[in-house]
Amino acid sequence: MRETHGSSSLNAGRRAAELETLAGGAVVDLLVVGGGVTGAWTALDAAARGLDVALIERGDLASGTSGWSSKLAHGGLRYLAHLEFGIAWESASERATLMDVNAPHLIRALPFIIPLGDQVSRAAGAKLETGIRIGDRMRAAAGTNRRRLPPMRRISTEEARRLAPGLTDRGMRGALLHWDGQIEDDARLVLAIARTAAAHGARILTYTSAQELTRDGAVVVDERSGEHHQLRARNVVNATGVWAGGLTGGVELRPSKGSHLLVRAGLLGDPRAGVSAPIPDSGGSRFVFAVPRGDGLVMIGITDEPYDGGEIPDVPEVSDAEQAFLLENVSRVLQRPLTPADVVGRYAGLRPLLSSADDEATADLSRRHAVLEHDRIVTVVGGKLTTARRMAQDAVDAVVARPDVDARPCTTRRLPLVGAVAPADAPTAGELPPPLVRRYGAEASRVAALAHSDPELLAPIAPDVPVSRAELRFAVEHELALTAADLLDRRTRLGFVASRRDAALAAAEQALV
């Protein structure tokens, strides 16, 4: 077993040196293909067990589905409606691990309001309340303190509107208030996992695409230079999500498309709580969410429709019909209906759901995951962002069960990620800019130190651009940002709003020089 614990800093120089070593013939214990949340967790799990690990990703970290999620670490409430108690419990348990151990700096409690209006009958309201109370029991059993995630309660219409001023009071007979986990940013979570893996010795190689997987490695292309290399590995895990079937056999998926919209928070009265708008005729089991973010925006989502578009795109598009569906359903519970003119950004992701023998709608397909093996290549598919740590554990368990693999037991349930700091231990508002603490946790002081000789580096790049030049510099030096798109679309998420991206483009290009 390899005993390595070093720097978590990732940059172009480290990538080039590690790719050169592997291309020169070095053999690793495990090659992980895919730089989303599951691949990153797999690399960390294996490296923390003492295996020599390399991860390759054809683009940037979290440039696929893991960067286009709803940014929620949720306890599985929707699965209770389908009586999937096992998945609901796994979700509650993994949420507790994420919130309390792995990434308490990136995941925080968020209140959600379910308005009890004309769209929710009294019977449906009672069913919802029962489901949430079962979820509360799972939350307690999973070890999440009620001070961290308070239990559900009924609230008045007036209290609901204080938390979410944009709510209508038409036909309202109060609301249900419950709590769940919100991820500050899914791409930053993936980055923290990958950097923690790097600290345990894993080689993280972005812009390195797999052309062919074999039982003893992969043929890859360095997308930066165009050179082809043969990477050698004793074991291979395919963690490429919706693209998994294109690299190995034995994988049957039915992708589901989740679309999201972004609007200015001021349009909804700057809400402090998420709002769950029931979808008519769903029996209270499906909702459109309006979730406030920390950057002055509200995310509205999510669709759950089968993707039948043939070849899987690198960047799925939100259709006008999907936008209309989201706006129509969320507007049912708002004082002021939202229109297409209110939308400042939109994005979509494709979930790698396991195919069912029945002709089910993707909204009803299970979010269970599976570990498959074909020609000694292990593939992990299905699941969701909240449970990706467990998915990775199962995938690595399948590898270490082989007689020629020597590794320690899994430790990721007890492993804090880079930047992890509990909310009670976070710097106070006067010590560091609050946005830095929200995004970087314990590393916020490292980012701020880059502006020691020039405090202006911590100022916003431009009006309505809530990111500083110090953050761009930190991303280049320590977070493996290799392109302007890496900086704008994933390290900072300015790319969500075109005007913000345009205003910061010159600063991003300068940071790369």
> pLDDT tens for residues 182-234?
999 999 999 999 999 999 999 999 999 999 999 999 999 999 999 999 999 99
Q: How far apart are the first and last CA of the chain?
A: 39
Q: Tell whether the model's pLDDT for residue 450 goes beyond 80.
A: yes
Identify the pLDDT of residue 381. 94
- CA–CA distance, 420 with 198 (Å, rounded to integer): 16
Mean per-residue pLDDT for 127-140?
Answer: 91
Q: Tell whether the model's pLDDT for residue 363 goes beyond 80.
A: no
Identify the pLDDT of residue 357. 53
- CA–CA distance, 255 with 382 (Å, rounded to integer): 9
- CA–CA distance, 187 with 243 (Å, rounded to integer): 19
Of 434 and 504, the structure prediction assigns the larger pLDDT to: 504
Of 87 and 50, the structure prediction assigns the larger pLDDT to: 50
- Residue 290: beta bridge partners? 275, 300
Asked if domains 30-66+187-251+366-414 and 72-184+254-351 share a fold, the reply is no
Give the tokens for residue 501.
């991206």
Among 227, 293, 302, which residue's Cα sits nearest to residue 263? 293
The CB density around residue 105, as the number of other CB atoms within 10 Å, is 27
Among 321, 328, 335, 337, which residue's Cα sits nearest to residue 279? 328
Mean per-residue pLDDT for 10-33?
Answer: 98
- CA–CA distance, 456 with 205 (Å, rounded to integer): 33
Identify the pLDDT of residue 354. 83
- CA–CA distance, 276 with 16 (Å, rounded to integer): 46
Q: Tell whether the model's pLDDT for residue 360 goes beyond 60.
A: no
Give the tokens for residue 321.
């019909």
β-pairing, 377-382 vs 369-374, is antiparallel
- CATH class of residue range 72-184+254-351: alpha beta
Phi, psi dihedral angles at 284 (to 5 degrees): 75, 15
Share of the chain above pLDDT 70, in %: 95
Question: Please, what's the largest Cα pairwise distance for the chain?
Answer: 69
CATH topology of domain 30-66+187-251+366-414: FAD/NAD(P)-binding domain (3.50.50)
Name the pLDDT band for 120 (thresholds 50, 70, 90): confident
CATH topology of domain 426-511: Helicase, Ruva Protein; domain 3 (1.10.8)
Q: Among 116-120, 155-159, 414-418, which is the least confidently predicted range?
A: 116-120
280-302 confidence digits (pLDDT tens):
877 667 899 999 999 999 999 99
Q: Tell whether the model's pLDDT for residue 119 goes beyond 90.
A: no
Q: In what order do the strands lie in the sheet with 203-205?
A: 203-205, 53-56, 30-33, 236-238, 377-382, 369-374
Name the pLDDT band for 503 (thresholds 50, 70, 90): very high
What average pLDDT does the structure give for the chain? 93
What contacts 305, CB < 8 A, 6 or more positions away?
A: 256, 257, 322, 362, 363
Identify the pLDDT of residue 81. 72
55-90 confidence digits (pLDDT tens):
999 999 999 999 999 999 988 777 877 778 888 899
Give pTM, 2 decimals. 0.96
Question: Is the Cα dihedral 462, 464, 470, 475 positive or negative?
Answer: negative
In the chain, where the domains are located: 30-66+187-251+366-414, 72-184+254-351, 426-511
β-pairing, 228-233 vs 153-155, is unpaired
